[in-house]
């Protein structure tokens, strides 16, 4: 199919359209209405008045046209049909409008009917001057998503013009369409832009109409094709073959103070199998908080090191990177592994020293933060990149690290996430990602009991904190999230710290927040880990990864301000040891509907996947994936949860087409379909 040419609208309109992503004729044709207005029917003025307060279209002759000045300047136009009279009121108007609606002129007006002091009226109705007997539109009028300076009239005209120019040929052959029971492309698109007056409006609004189904299918097919193609491209790149599972891996396993769970063993096997391949692994390791992902990633690193390569582990925060460093260094250094530590906060001298051992290859394993992706960091022989809490990084940051391979080889990549992504999302957003799931917690964990408590019972809660500390347990006290202001958040944290320190004079209370210097942060975390601090007042800096098994009571203040996954992450900081753990969610009443739902969910389940599923229900998929993931920007029409059956069909067809792509007619279908739906946007997905 030939590429569609750009519209010939004047420059300014063109650039305004471009701002909405509408650059080609096909873009415009696929810019589908968000709703419709029904101008296909006219009711009599009397019926409109009787049936009352909603939007009606009426028609009548102007019987009076006057400008009044009380209470302010406005234009009043009285129209009449054989059933009655109605007033149209315009507060803003042009002189030309006064003339346009002169007495005796016939007008069709559409607007919301109100009962004013002087009887029924419409304020600022949409209107048209017409001749008697002018035909009514036979289709509903589309209302498009729009932007600044773009009226519906301009958009409608641009879309209608574009519809005259595009190549309407279906990208899919008839045989496919009938087997899939899908509508043809052209009638679907035409119906969605101009639905006939007798259309099933419910199906249209709910987007369950067959015309919508076809659009969703096409969109999902383009997404699947594109992502699967990216996957093939990846398989054509070379990666170090990490064949040896040798001395280090064995020694490491032998030295661990625990045995791997069944789930851990399974994912270790999956990763091992990938690493020996000659193309880069791209695997997401999913596992609920506390499921033991770190040890799995360390085993992957051991395989790289055993094979003579380096491994790098990048974490989103200094606290988290630090924890990994300590834990892994403690495991591995006794086995002769040299672990380097690199973060932005290091002194220049230490940074340079770290870079040197990374570049020389003396360091086998490098652990750090974003500092790892700087240009000046060069690896001697990087074989494996591990990214913890991957959703906290942008695609670009992950790519930069992956580009640090040598000899033209792309390192393998293992991404980890404790924010469980529901299966439906993982399969569609991450078509070019293998997924491993740890679906079992290590043994001996005691369940966490969660309670929601009204803020005004704070004193009782402080009592409980005291009691817990006296039993030798440690406590996290999480400060309210204040999204509007970091300064305010800091202030609140400091105040909370002061009140708690005062209320608990016999305990050691510590404070940790995001604005602290790394060294200070580290000192307080160390003290907490060592058990020297009883109560740790914290902002959300402790949200990810912090691992202090002796902490078994978690208090979250203003829990109603946090999102579900954030609450789950926070709660995951307790329940890591053998003591029974408790999470108290303090809330400020009255609770809104959504907040109530969230707290209820938290009380009902500790299963991260179930929580993620409910979160998806509450928030929708867009926000879910955080930093712009591949594929996200492509879905405008389909809803991954509700349209699961279409997703399944699209995935099957994509697979079938690609499996047969050596046949020219199938290749042509793929090309035509991707061109139509993605235009030039495909490179967006190549990550």
Contact between 552 and ligand ADP per CB under 6 A: no
Contact between 417 and ligand ADP per CB under 6 A: no
Binders of ligand ADP among 21-80, rule CB under 6 A? none
Contact between 621 and Mg ion per CB under 5 A: no
**590 cis-preceded (ω within 30 degrees of 0):** yes
Shortest spacing between CB 344 and ligand ADP, in angstroms: 23
Q: Which CB sits closer to Mg ion, 229 or 568?
A: 568
Structure token digits, residue 466: 């005291």
Strand partners, 127: 109
Query: Could you tell me where the beta strands, DSSP code E, fall in 513-628?
Result: 535-538, 551-556, 581-587
Q: What residue 286 binds from Mg ion, ligand ADP, none (CB within 5 to 8 A, per partner kind)?
A: none
Residue that is written with structure tokens 């030295």 in the block:
255
The rounded distance, in Å, linking the Cα atoms of 675 and 660 is 19
Shortest spacing between CB 289 and Mg ion, in angstroms: 7
Q: What are the distances in angstroms from CA 265 to CA 250, 260, 291, 297, 321?
A: 14, 6, 12, 12, 24
Shortest spacing between CB 388 and Mg ion, in angstroms: 6
The rounded distance, in Å, linking the Cα atoms of 206 and 402 is 43
Residue that is written with structure tokens 């009076």 in the block:
64
- Return the closest-CA partner of residue 166 out of 2, 346, 406: 2
The rounded distance, in Å, linking the Cα atoms of 330 and 546 is 17
From candidates 292, 368, 480, 575, binder to ligand ADP by CB under 6 A = 292
78 φ/ψ angles, rounded to the nearest 5 degrees: -100, 125
Q: What is the CA radius of gyration of the chain?
A: 32
Contact between 172 and ligand ADP per CB under 6 A: no
Q: Which CB sits closer to ligand ADP, 290 or 383?
A: 290
From candidates 89, 193, 207, 293, binder to ligand ADP by CB under 6 A = 293
From candidates 210, 308, 442, 679, binder to ligand ADP by CB under 6 A = 442
Near Mg ion by CB under 5 A, which window of 178-186, 538-546, 561-569, 632-640?
A: 538-546
Q: What are the distances in angstroms from CA 469 to CA 460, 496, 547, 667?
A: 14, 18, 18, 68
From candidates 261, 303, 343, 397, binder to ligand ADP by CB under 6 A = 261
Shortest spacing between CB 293 and Mg ion, in angstroms: 5
Is there a contact between 438 and 291 (Cβ–Cβ < 8 Å)? Answer: yes
Q: Which CB sits closer to ligand ADP, 292 or 510?
A: 292
Structure token digits, residue 632: 């996200």
Structure token digits, residue 13: 């309109």
Structure token digits, residue 39: 């101008």
Strand partners, 536: 476, 510
Q: What are the distances in angstroms from CA 397 to CA 393, 394, 436, 519?
A: 6, 5, 22, 25
Contact between 290 and ligand ADP per CB under 6 A: yes
Q: Roughly how many angstroms between the first and final C-alpha of the chain, as a whole number?
A: 27
Q: Which CB sits closer to ligand ADP, 147 or 442?
A: 442
Q: What residue 264 binds from Mg ion, ligand ADP, none (CB within 5 to 8 A, per partner kind)?
A: ligand ADP
Shortest spacing between CB 299 and ligand ADP, in angstroms: 11
The rounded distance, in Å, linking the Cα atoms of 384 and 518 is 27
Contact between 307 and ligand ADP per CB under 6 A: no
Binders of Mg ion among 20-79, rule CB under 5 A? none
DSSP state letter for 541: G
From candidates 33, 287, 368, 383, binder to ligand ADP by CB under 6 A = 287
Contact between 608 and Mg ion per CB under 5 A: no
Return the ∠ at Cα 155 (arms to 151 and 161), rounded to 5°. 145
Is there a contact between 165 and 5 (Cβ–Cβ < 8 Å)? Answer: yes
Is there a contact between 572 and 599 (Cβ–Cβ < 8 Å)? Answer: no
Shortest spacing between CB 272 and ligand ADP, in angstroms: 17
Shortest spacing between CB 551 and Mg ion, in angstroms: 15
Q: What residue 576 binds from Mg ion, ligand ADP, none (CB within 5 to 8 A, per partner kind)?
A: ligand ADP
Contact between 420 and ligand ADP per CB under 6 A: no
Residue that is written with structure tokens 């959703």 in the block:
391
- The size of the interface with Mg ion (CB under 5 A), counted in residues, is 1
DSSP 351-381: HHHHHHHHHHT--SEEEESGGGGSTT---SS
Q: Which CB sits closer to Mg ion, 405 or 545?
A: 545
Contact between 84 and ligand ADP per CB under 6 A: no
Contact between 258 and ligand ADP per CB under 6 A: yes
Q: What residue 297 binds from Mg ion, ligand ADP, none (CB within 5 to 8 A, per partner kind)?
A: none
Shortest spacing between CB 435 and ligand ADP, in angstroms: 15
Contact between 234 and ligand ADP per CB under 6 A: no
Q: Which CB sits closer to Mg ion, 188 or 294?
A: 294
Q: Which residue is nearest to ligand ADP (CB)?
A: 292
Contact string 563-592 vs ligand ADP (x = CB under 6 A): -------------x----------------
SS3 assignment, position 124: coil
Contact between 291 and ligand ADP per CB under 6 A: yes
Near ligand ADP by CB under 6 A, which window of 259-267, 302-310, 403-411, 493-501?
A: 259-267
Contact between 260 and ligand ADP per CB under 6 A: yes
Q: What residue 566 binds from Mg ion, ligand ADP, none (CB within 5 to 8 A, per partner kind)?
A: none
Q: What are the distances in angstroms from CA 524 to CA 326, 440, 534, 537?
A: 15, 32, 11, 11
Contact between 547 and ligand ADP per CB under 6 A: yes
Contact between 264 and ligand ADP per CB under 6 A: yes
Contact between 295 and ligand ADP per CB under 6 A: yes
State how far Cα 246 lies from the chain centre.
Answer: 40
Q: Which CB sits closer to ligand ADP, 210 or 442?
A: 442
Contact between 545 and Mg ion per CB under 5 A: yes
121 φ/ψ angles, rounded to the nearest 5 degrees: -155, 160
Is there a contact between 474 and 551 (Cβ–Cβ < 8 Å)? Answer: yes
Please provide the size of the chain in residues: 687
DSSP state letter for 500: H
Q: What residue 290 binds from ligand ADP, Mg ion, none (CB within 5 to 8 A, per partner kind)?
A: ligand ADP
DSSP state letter for 530: T
- The size of the interface with ligand ADP (CB under 6 A), counted in residues, is 16
Shortest spacing between CB 442 and Mg ion, in angstroms: 13
From candidates 162, 289, 340, 647, binder to ligand ADP by CB under 6 A = 289
Shortest spacing between CB 229 and Mg ion, in angstroms: 33
The rounded distance, in Å, linking the Cα atoms of 384 and 527 is 33
Contact between 294 and ligand ADP per CB under 6 A: yes
DSSP state letter for 651: H
Near Mg ion by CB under 5 A, which window of 39-47, 450-458, 543-551, 585-593?
A: 543-551
Strands 74-81 and 84-90, by their bridges, are antiparallel
The rounded distance, in Å, linking the Cα atoms of 629 and 231 is 15
Q: Which CB sits closer to Mg ion, 207 or 571?
A: 571
Q: Which CB sits closer to ligand ADP, 301 or 669?
A: 301
Contact between 672 and ligand ADP per CB under 6 A: no
The rounded distance, in Å, linking the Cα atoms of 431 and 628 is 15
Which residues are at the interface with ligand ADP (CB under 6 A)? 258, 260-261, 264, 287, 289-295, 418, 442, 547, 576
Which residues of this protein are in contact with Mg ion, per CB under 5 A? Answer: 545
């Amino acid at each position: 199919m030939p590429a569609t040419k750009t519209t010939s609208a004047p420059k300014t309109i063109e650039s305004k359209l471009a701002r909405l992503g509408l650059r080609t004729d096909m873009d415009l044709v696929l810019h589908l209405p968000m709703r419709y207005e029904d101008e296909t029917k006219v009711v009599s003025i009397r019926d409109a008045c009787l049936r009352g307060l909603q939007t009606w279209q009426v028609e009548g002759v102007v019987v009076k046209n006057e400008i009044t000045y009380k209470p302010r300047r406005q234009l009043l136009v009285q129209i009449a049909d054989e059933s009655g009279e109605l007033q149209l009121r315009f507060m803003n108007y042009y002189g030309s409008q006064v003339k346009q609606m002169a007495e005796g002129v016939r007008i069709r007006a559409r607007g919301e009917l109100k009962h004013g002091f002087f009887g029924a009226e419409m304020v600022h109705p949409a209107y048209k001057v017409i001749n008697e007997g002018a035909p009514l539109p036979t289709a509903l009028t589309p209302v498009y998503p729009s932007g600044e300076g773009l009226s519906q009239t301009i958009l409608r005209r641009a879309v209608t013009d574009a519809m005259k120019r595009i190549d309407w040929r279906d990208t899919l052959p008839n045989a496919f369409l009938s087997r899939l029971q899908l509508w043809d492309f052209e009638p679907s698109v035409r119906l969605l832009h101009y639905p006939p007056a007798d259309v099933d409006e419910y199906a249209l609004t709910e987007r369950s109409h067959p015309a919508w189904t076809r659009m969703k299918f096409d969109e999902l097919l383009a997404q699947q094709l594109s992502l699967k193609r990216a996957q093939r491209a990846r398989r054509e790149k070379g990666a170090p073959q990490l064949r040896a599972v040798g001395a280090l891996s064995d020694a490491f396993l032998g030295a661990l103070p625990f045995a791997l769970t069944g789930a851990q063993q399974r994912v270790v096997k999956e990763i091992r199998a990938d690493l020996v391949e000659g193309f880069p692994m791209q695997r997401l390791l999913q596992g609920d908080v506390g499921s033991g992902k770190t040890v799995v990633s360390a085993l992957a690193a051991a395989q790289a090191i055993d094979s003579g390569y380096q491994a790098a582990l990048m974490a989103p925060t200094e606290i988290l990177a630090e924890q990994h460093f300590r834990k892994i260094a403690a495991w591995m250094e006794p086995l002769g592994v040299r672990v380097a530590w690199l973060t932005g906060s290091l002194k220049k001298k230490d940074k340079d020293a770290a870079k040197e051992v990374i570049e020389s290859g003396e360091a086998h394993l490098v652990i750090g933060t974003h500092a790892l992706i700087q240009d000046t960091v060069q690896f001697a022989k990087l074989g494996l990149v591990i990214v913890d809490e991957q959703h906290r990084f942008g695609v670009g940051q992950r790519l930069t690290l992956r580009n640090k391979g040598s000899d033209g080889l792309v390192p393998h990549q293992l991404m980890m996430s404790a924010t469980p992504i529901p299966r439906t999302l993982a399969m569609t957003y991450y078509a070019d990602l293998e997924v491993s799931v740890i679906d079992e917690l290590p043994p001996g964990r005691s369940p966490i009991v969660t309670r929601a408590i009204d803020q005004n019972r704070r004193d009782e809660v402080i009592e409980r904190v005291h009691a817990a500390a006296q039993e030798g347990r440690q406590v996290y006290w999480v400060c309210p999230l204040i999204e509007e202001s970091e300064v305010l958040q800091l202030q609140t944290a400091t105040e909370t710290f002061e009140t708690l320190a005062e209320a608990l004079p016999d305990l050691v209370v510590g404070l940790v927040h995001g604005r602290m210097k790394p060294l200070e942060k580290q000192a307080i975390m160390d003290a907490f880990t060592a058990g020297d601090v009883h109560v740790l007042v914290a902002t959300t800096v402790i949200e990810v990864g912090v691992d202090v098994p002796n902490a078994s009571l978690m208090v979250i203040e203003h829990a109603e301000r946090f999102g579900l996954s954030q609450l789950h992450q926070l709660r995951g900081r307790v329940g890591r040891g053998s003591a029974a753990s408790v999470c108290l969610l303090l809330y400020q009443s009255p609770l809104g509907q959504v907040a109530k739902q969230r707290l209820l969910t938290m009380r009902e389940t500790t299963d991260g996947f179930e929580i993620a599923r409910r979160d998806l229900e509450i928030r929708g998929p867009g926000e879910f994936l955080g930093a712009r993931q591949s594929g996200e920007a492509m879905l405008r029409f389909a809803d991954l949860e509700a349209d699961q059956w279409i997703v399944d069909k699209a995935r099957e067809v994509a697979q079938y087409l690609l499996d047969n792509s050596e046949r020219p007619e199938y290749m042509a279908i793929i090309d035509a379909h991707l061109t139509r739906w993605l235009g030039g946007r495909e490179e967006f997905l190549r990550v």
